[in-house]
Amino acid sequence: MTAHRAGEGRGLLYRLYSSRLRRMLTPESVPHHVAMMIDGNRRWARQAGLPSVAHGHRAGAAKMHEFLRWCDDLGIRVVSLYLLSNDNLRKRDSRELSDLIEIIAELADELSHEPGWRVQIVGRSDALPPELARVLQTAQERTAGNTGLHVNLAVGYGGRGEIVDAVRSIIAQHDERGGSLEELAASLTPEQIGEHLYTGGQADPDLVIRTSGEQRLSDFLLWQSAHSEFYFVEALGPDLREVDFLRAIRDFATRDRRFGS
Protein backbone atom coordinates (compact mmCIF):
# COMPACT_ATOMS: atom_id res chain seq x y z
CA MET A 1 0.00 0.00 0.00
CA THR A 2 1.36 3.43 -0.91
CA ALA A 3 1.81 6.15 1.71
CA HIS A 4 -0.97 8.13 0.03
CA ARG A 5 -3.46 5.26 0.31
CA ALA A 6 -2.38 4.55 3.87
CA GLY A 7 -3.07 8.20 4.71
CA GLU A 8 -6.49 8.00 3.09
CA GLY A 9 -7.23 4.86 5.10
CA ARG A 10 -6.29 6.55 8.37
CA GLY A 11 -8.39 9.56 7.43
CA LEU A 12 -11.42 7.35 6.79
CA LEU A 13 -10.97 5.55 10.11
CA TYR A 14 -10.63 8.88 11.89
CA ARG A 15 -13.89 10.17 10.36
CA LEU A 16 -15.71 6.94 11.20
CA TYR A 17 -14.49 7.06 14.79
CA SER A 18 -15.46 10.73 15.13
CA SER A 19 -18.94 9.97 13.81
CA ARG A 20 -19.27 7.09 16.25
CA LEU A 21 -18.31 9.33 19.19
CA ARG A 22 -20.83 11.95 18.09
CA ARG A 23 -23.62 9.36 17.90
CA MET A 24 -22.88 8.36 21.49
CA LEU A 25 -23.68 11.88 22.71
CA THR A 26 -27.16 13.26 23.33
CA PRO A 27 -28.12 16.92 23.82
CA GLU A 28 -28.75 16.15 27.50
CA SER A 29 -25.25 14.73 27.99
CA VAL A 30 -23.38 17.69 26.51
CA PRO A 31 -22.05 20.25 29.02
CA HIS A 32 -23.54 23.74 28.97
CA HIS A 33 -20.26 25.51 29.78
CA VAL A 34 -16.75 24.29 28.94
CA ALA A 35 -13.57 26.01 30.12
CA MET A 36 -10.41 25.34 28.14
CA MET A 37 -6.70 25.81 28.80
CA ILE A 38 -4.89 25.11 25.52
CA ASP A 39 -1.39 24.64 26.91
CA GLY A 40 1.90 23.50 25.38
CA ASN A 41 2.26 25.99 22.55
CA ARG A 42 5.88 26.81 23.38
CA ARG A 43 6.87 23.15 23.69
CA TRP A 44 5.17 22.44 20.36
CA ALA A 45 7.21 25.15 18.63
CA ARG A 46 10.47 23.93 20.15
CA GLN A 47 9.80 20.29 19.30
CA ALA A 48 9.02 21.33 15.73
CA GLY A 49 12.33 23.18 15.53
CA LEU A 50 10.65 26.49 14.75
CA PRO A 51 12.70 29.67 15.15
CA SER A 52 10.31 31.35 17.59
CA VAL A 53 7.72 30.25 20.16
CA ALA A 54 5.39 32.78 18.51
CA HIS A 55 4.77 30.10 15.86
CA GLY A 56 3.43 27.89 18.63
CA HIS A 57 1.19 30.62 20.01
CA ARG A 58 -0.22 31.28 16.52
CA ALA A 59 -0.89 27.57 16.05
CA GLY A 60 -2.54 27.49 19.48
CA ALA A 61 -4.76 30.47 18.62
CA ALA A 62 -5.84 28.77 15.37
CA LYS A 63 -6.66 25.64 17.39
CA MET A 64 -8.76 27.69 19.83
CA HIS A 65 -10.83 29.03 16.95
CA GLU A 66 -11.27 25.48 15.64
CA PHE A 67 -12.12 24.25 19.15
CA LEU A 68 -14.88 26.85 19.44
CA ARG A 69 -16.42 25.61 16.20
CA TRP A 70 -16.39 22.05 17.57
CA CYS A 71 -18.19 23.30 20.69
CA ASP A 72 -20.73 25.28 18.67
CA ASP A 73 -21.45 22.29 16.42
CA LEU A 74 -22.06 20.12 19.48
CA GLY A 75 -24.51 22.54 21.09
CA ILE A 76 -22.30 23.79 23.93
CA ARG A 77 -23.55 27.25 24.86
CA VAL A 78 -20.63 28.85 26.76
CA VAL A 79 -16.87 28.42 26.34
CA SER A 80 -14.19 30.12 28.44
CA LEU A 81 -10.67 30.33 27.00
CA TYR A 82 -7.61 31.14 29.10
CA LEU A 83 -5.51 33.37 26.85
CA LEU A 84 -3.27 35.51 29.06
CA SER A 85 -2.84 35.46 32.82
CA ASN A 86 -1.67 38.21 35.15
CA ASP A 87 1.38 36.03 35.81
CA ASN A 88 2.13 35.96 32.06
CA LEU A 89 2.05 39.75 31.97
CA ARG A 90 4.62 39.96 34.75
CA LYS A 91 6.90 37.06 33.93
CA ARG A 92 7.02 36.45 30.17
CA ASP A 93 9.91 37.68 28.05
CA SER A 94 9.05 41.07 26.54
CA ARG A 95 9.41 39.86 22.94
CA GLU A 96 7.23 36.81 23.54
CA LEU A 97 4.68 38.96 25.37
CA SER A 98 4.58 41.41 22.47
CA ASP A 99 3.89 38.53 20.04
CA LEU A 100 1.22 37.13 22.36
CA ILE A 101 -0.56 40.46 22.60
CA GLU A 102 -0.67 40.77 18.81
CA ILE A 103 -1.95 37.19 18.42
CA ILE A 104 -4.66 37.64 21.06
CA ALA A 105 -5.84 40.88 19.43
CA GLU A 106 -6.10 39.12 16.05
CA LEU A 107 -7.99 36.18 17.57
CA ALA A 108 -10.48 38.40 19.40
CA ASP A 109 -11.16 40.36 16.23
CA GLU A 110 -11.67 37.15 14.22
CA LEU A 111 -14.07 35.71 16.77
CA SER A 112 -16.11 38.90 16.86
CA HIS A 113 -16.92 38.40 13.17
CA GLU A 114 -18.26 34.85 13.62
CA PRO A 115 -22.01 34.99 12.89
CA GLY A 116 -24.03 34.92 16.10
CA TRP A 117 -21.14 34.50 18.53
CA ARG A 118 -20.90 36.77 21.56
CA VAL A 119 -17.46 37.69 22.89
CA GLN A 120 -17.03 38.73 26.51
CA ILE A 121 -13.72 39.81 28.02
CA VAL A 122 -12.95 38.63 31.57
CA GLY A 123 -9.94 40.07 33.35
CA ARG A 124 -8.41 43.40 34.29
CA SER A 125 -8.26 45.61 31.23
CA ASP A 126 -6.29 48.29 33.09
CA ALA A 127 -3.31 45.93 33.23
CA LEU A 128 -3.26 45.46 29.44
CA PRO A 129 -1.53 47.54 26.76
CA PRO A 130 -4.02 50.21 25.61
CA GLU A 131 -4.20 48.96 22.02
CA LEU A 132 -5.03 45.39 23.11
CA ALA A 133 -7.62 46.70 25.58
CA ARG A 134 -9.20 48.73 22.76
CA VAL A 135 -9.40 45.75 20.38
CA LEU A 136 -10.92 43.56 23.10
CA GLN A 137 -13.49 46.20 24.03
CA THR A 138 -14.44 46.62 20.37
CA ALA A 139 -14.89 42.85 19.96
CA GLN A 140 -17.13 42.77 23.02
CA GLU A 141 -19.24 45.74 21.93
CA ARG A 142 -19.57 44.44 18.35
CA THR A 143 -21.08 41.16 19.56
CA ALA A 144 -23.06 42.37 22.59
CA GLY A 145 -26.43 41.69 20.96
CA ASN A 146 -25.61 38.19 19.70
CA THR A 147 -27.30 35.16 21.24
CA GLY A 148 -25.24 32.29 19.85
CA LEU A 149 -22.12 30.72 21.34
CA HIS A 150 -20.95 32.81 24.30
CA VAL A 151 -17.14 33.05 24.31
CA ASN A 152 -15.36 34.28 27.42
CA LEU A 153 -11.81 35.41 26.67
CA ALA A 154 -9.72 35.48 29.85
CA VAL A 155 -7.07 38.13 29.20
CA GLY A 156 -5.08 39.79 31.98
CA TYR A 157 -6.89 37.29 34.19
CA GLY A 158 -6.18 35.76 37.58
CA GLY A 159 -8.65 33.76 39.66
CA ARG A 160 -7.48 35.11 43.01
CA GLY A 161 -7.56 38.67 41.69
CA GLU A 162 -11.07 38.10 40.39
CA ILE A 163 -12.28 37.09 43.86
CA VAL A 164 -10.58 40.14 45.40
CA ASP A 165 -12.24 42.39 42.81
CA ALA A 166 -15.62 40.79 43.53
CA VAL A 167 -15.30 41.40 47.28
CA ARG A 168 -14.16 45.00 46.68
CA SER A 169 -17.20 45.57 44.46
CA ILE A 170 -19.52 44.20 47.14
CA ILE A 171 -17.93 46.42 49.81
CA ALA A 172 -18.16 49.52 47.58
CA GLN A 173 -21.82 48.80 46.75
CA HIS A 174 -22.64 48.24 50.43
CA ASP A 175 -20.84 51.45 51.41
CA GLU A 176 -22.85 53.46 48.87
CA ARG A 177 -26.02 52.30 50.62
CA GLY A 178 -24.63 53.42 53.98
CA GLY A 179 -24.48 49.94 55.51
CA SER A 180 -22.15 48.97 58.34
CA LEU A 181 -19.34 46.39 58.21
CA GLU A 182 -21.26 44.28 60.72
CA GLU A 183 -24.28 44.20 58.41
CA LEU A 184 -22.08 43.30 55.43
CA ALA A 185 -20.38 40.48 57.32
CA ALA A 186 -23.73 39.08 58.38
CA SER A 187 -25.26 39.23 54.91
CA LEU A 188 -22.33 38.08 52.73
CA THR A 189 -23.04 34.82 50.85
CA PRO A 190 -21.26 32.71 48.19
CA GLU A 191 -24.07 33.60 45.78
CA GLN A 192 -23.42 37.31 46.32
CA ILE A 193 -19.72 36.89 45.56
CA GLY A 194 -20.60 34.85 42.46
CA GLU A 195 -22.77 37.68 41.14
CA HIS A 196 -19.83 40.11 41.32
CA LEU A 197 -17.29 37.91 39.51
CA TYR A 198 -16.23 38.77 35.96
CA THR A 199 -18.57 35.98 34.83
CA GLY A 200 -21.47 37.13 37.01
CA GLY A 201 -24.82 35.86 35.73
CA GLN A 202 -23.30 32.90 33.90
CA ALA A 203 -23.53 29.24 34.86
CA ASP A 204 -20.29 27.82 36.26
CA PRO A 205 -18.24 25.58 33.94
CA ASP A 206 -19.40 21.97 33.88
CA LEU A 207 -16.13 20.77 32.38
CA VAL A 208 -12.57 22.12 32.48
CA ILE A 209 -10.16 20.76 29.85
CA ARG A 210 -6.40 21.24 29.79
CA THR A 211 -3.97 20.05 27.14
CA SER A 212 -0.24 19.12 27.26
CA GLY A 213 -0.54 16.70 30.18
CA GLU A 214 -0.39 19.41 32.84
CA GLN A 215 -2.79 18.83 35.73
CA ARG A 216 -3.27 22.11 37.54
CA LEU A 217 -5.66 25.09 37.40
CA SER A 218 -3.00 27.83 37.12
CA ASP A 219 -5.29 30.41 38.78
CA PHE A 220 -8.09 29.89 36.22
CA LEU A 221 -11.73 30.20 37.33
CA LEU A 222 -10.89 29.16 40.90
CA TRP A 223 -14.29 30.11 42.33
CA GLN A 224 -16.37 28.96 39.37
CA SER A 225 -14.76 25.52 39.07
CA ALA A 226 -15.56 24.40 42.64
CA HIS A 227 -17.84 21.63 41.31
CA SER A 228 -16.51 21.32 37.75
CA GLU A 229 -15.34 18.07 36.20
CA PHE A 230 -11.75 18.00 34.92
CA TYR A 231 -10.27 16.32 31.87
CA PHE A 232 -6.56 16.34 30.98
CA VAL A 233 -5.29 15.66 27.47
CA GLU A 234 -1.69 14.60 26.76
CA ALA A 235 -1.58 16.30 23.33
CA LEU A 236 0.09 19.68 23.11
CA GLY A 237 -2.34 22.52 22.35
CA PRO A 238 -1.82 22.84 18.58
CA ASP A 239 -2.01 19.03 18.18
CA LEU A 240 -5.45 18.72 19.79
CA ARG A 241 -7.80 16.73 17.54
CA GLU A 242 -11.56 16.71 17.38
CA VAL A 243 -11.56 13.09 18.57
CA ASP A 244 -9.67 14.20 21.70
CA PHE A 245 -12.39 16.77 22.33
CA LEU A 246 -15.18 14.27 21.69
CA ARG A 247 -13.56 11.77 24.06
CA ALA A 248 -13.53 14.46 26.74
CA ILE A 249 -17.25 15.11 26.22
CA ARG A 250 -18.00 11.38 26.21
CA ASP A 251 -16.06 10.97 29.45
CA PHE A 252 -17.97 13.88 31.00
CA ALA A 253 -21.28 12.30 29.99
CA THR A 254 -20.45 9.13 31.96
CA ARG A 255 -19.56 10.87 35.21
CA ASP A 256 -21.87 10.97 38.24
CA ARG A 257 -21.89 14.64 39.23
CA ARG A 258 -22.64 14.99 42.94
CA PHE A 259 -21.97 18.70 43.52
CA GLY A 260 -20.53 18.01 46.97
CA SER A 261 -23.41 15.80 48.14
For 213, the 3-state DSSP assignment is coil
| Residue 107: Cβ-neighbour burial (10 angstroms; 0-12, 13-18, 19+) | buried
What integer pLDDT is reported at residue 15 of this predicted model?
Answer: 81
Task: Please give the share of the chain, as a percent, with pLDDT higher than 90.
Answer: 84
Query: Would the pLDDT of 9 be above 60?
Result: no
Query: Taking a C-beta distance cutoff of 8 angstroms, is the pair 84, 96 a contact?
Result: no
Alpha helices in 120-219 (DSSP H): 130-142, 159-176, 181-187, 190-195
Q: Is 193 helix (H, G, I), strand (E, B) or coil?
A: helix
pTM of the shown model: 0.92
| pLDDT in the model for residue 124 | 95
Q: Is-contact 189 167, C-beta < 8 A?
A: no
Active site residues: 39, 88
Indicate if the pLDDT at residue 52 is higher than 70: yes
| Cα separation, 214 vs 236, whole angstroms | 10
How far apart (Å, rounded) are the C-alpha atoms in residues 104 and 97? 10
**57 among the known binding-site residues?**
yes
210 assigned to a ligand binding site: yes
Q: Decide if pLDDT at 8 tops 80.
A: no
pLDDT at 56 over 70: yes
* Residue scoring higher pLDDT (160 or 5): 160
Q: Assign a CATH topology to domain 30-158+204-252.
A: Undecaprenyl pyrophosphate synthetase (3.40.1180)
For range 180-204, the mean pLDDT: 95
Q: How many CB atoms lie within 10 A of CB 136?
A: 25
Q: How far apart are CA 43 and CA 140, in angstroms?
A: 31
Q: Is the pLDDT of residue 4 over 80?
A: no
Residue 164 has pLDDT above 90, yes or no: yes
Determine whether the annotation assigns residue 40 to a binding site: yes
Whether the pLDDT of residue 261 is over 70: the answer is no
Quick one: pLDDT band at residue 19, thresholds 50, 70, 90?
confident
70 annotated ligand-binding residue: no
Which regions of the chain does DSSP assign to beta strands (E)? 33-37, 78-85, 118-122, 150-157, 207-210, 229-232
Annotated ligand binding at 174? The verdict is: no
Cα–Cα distance, 163 to 13 (Å, whole number): 46
The CA–CA distances, whole Å, from 175 to 75, 104, 161, 178, 185 equal: 42, 37, 21, 5, 12
State the Cα–Cα distance between residues 104 and 186, nearest whole angstrom: 42
Question: CB atoms < 10 A from the CB of 110, how many?
Answer: 14
pLDDT per position as a tens digit, 166-178: 999 999 999 999 9
Q: For 82-99, how does the pLDDT look when each residue is reduced to its tens digit (9 = 90+)?
A: 999 999 998 888 899 999
Task: Convert the pLDDT of each residue in 200-254 to its tens digit.
Answer: 999 999 999 999 999 999 999 999 999 999 999 999 999 999 999 999 999 999 9
- 252 close to 229: Cβ distance less than 8 angstroms: yes
Q: Is 255 helix (H, G, I), strand (E, B) or coil?
A: coil
Domain ranges of the chain: 30-158+204-252
Q: Interhelix angle for 94-111 vs 54-74, to 10°? A: 30
